[in-house]
Amino acid sequence: MRKVISIAGTGRSGTNILTRVFGQHSQIATLPFEYRFIIDPRGVIDFFESYTSSWSPYKADFQIKELQSFLLSLAELTPEKQAETKRIKAIDPGGLALTPPPYSGWELNKWIVGYSDFVEELISELKSFSYSAKWPGAEANQVDYQMDFGPRLSKGELAGILSSFLAKCFNAICEQQGKAHYLEDNTHNILFAANLKAIIPTLKLVHVVRDPRDVISSLTQQKWAPNELQQAILWYKEVMQQWESQKAQLNAEDYLEVRFEDILANPEEEVQRICAFGEVEFEASMMSVAFDQPNKGRYKESFSPKEIERLNSELKTVLERYGYPESA
């Protein structure tokens, strides 16, 4: 598999700037969005975990069909989905009162040439055969239902099958862009790092850390995160605790942690350090991205002195671990 560098974080930690930086590299392919099919629920990692944890013929049939359905749902924006999305956005432009169809903006066949074919090849590898039968949990209103029989697989066996699928996807992206390496950009990769490394053996994970108080200030403004302070603190702490659990399962050479503030203060030095970690050559063109300081210290304006005191108290462990003074 090609060299794969993953830029990841808690969300709102500055990963987008670093992704743009590496997008300027002459040999690193990137996508302008998170394609999500690896780490989202029903995706590759979800299947990897659940399929190998327990097995039955019925569970195998359900999980293989579920994976196939999810992966293919991201392949094309059908006219029906497009029309429904447009209708809902007209009713609720902010997207909070009424949710649009899942993944309504995703058209992976355009970005990963052969994607649907790769999915079908993956499903063929996962199942040994199909046969006419039905069980109580089968999807309703199916004519001549075909059960997919997938054999029991160890994590190592399944990792190999999924690795081959991802390699095809990464190769297609790189070939389309004429690049040698791939930047894997899904923010919450830190939460699944150990399994990602098992499936993508060449993965080099870069965790972008940002002052957690600024992260939480930004989280409360997002439609996908809690907007109440205490809830946002708990949300953030759970994410970081999961990362600590994942980090304990990795080798030291598999991941690199960099502070967002250090990237802004010393961009060339930090980018060179990341390139060395990812085993790719530094290129001066990478520094053409603007390294401004968006909302640095924003929490001081977002929260009252009492709320900042609460942040400092509840986040004390993380603040100390990454060198953020309480008076910052």
pLDDT in tens, 63-101: 999 999 999 999 998 888 888 988 988 888 877 788 889
Domain boundary among 145, 171, 197: 171
Question: pLDDT for 203-239, tens place per residue?
Answer: 999 999 999 999 999 999 999 999 999 999 999 999 9
Task: With respect to residue 38, please indicate whether it lies within any of the assigned structural domains.
Answer: no
**231, 149: one domain:** no
318 and 184 within one domain: yes
Q: How much is the pTM?
A: 0.94
pLDDT one-digit tens code per residue, 105-122: 899 999 999 999 999 999
Q: Residues 131, 214: one domain? A: no
Does 47 fall in a domain? Answer: no
- Please check whether residue 44 lies inside any domain of the structure: no
Q: Do 229 and 326 share a domain, yes or no?
A: yes
246 in the same domain as 322: yes
In a domain, residue 37? The reply is no
Q: How many domains is the chain partitioned into structurally?
A: 2
Q: Is the residue at 233 inside a domain?
A: yes
Residue 241 lies in a domain: yes
Sign of the dihedral through C-alpha 151, 76, 26, 197: negative
- Kindly state whether residues 104 and 143 are assigned to the same domain: yes
DSSP for 47-112? HHHHHHH---HHHHHHHHHHHHHHHHHTT---HHHHHHHHHHHHH-TTSSSS--STTTT--HHHHS
Are residue 187 and residue 70 in the same domain, yes or no? no
Query: Residue 10: which of 171, 216, 177, 184 has the closest Cα?
Result: 216
Answer yes or no: do 75 and 192 share one domain: no
Do the domain assignments include residue 32?
no
Q: Are residues 287 and 190 in the same domain?
A: yes
Q: List the domain range (segments joined by +) for residue 318.
A: 1-27+180-328
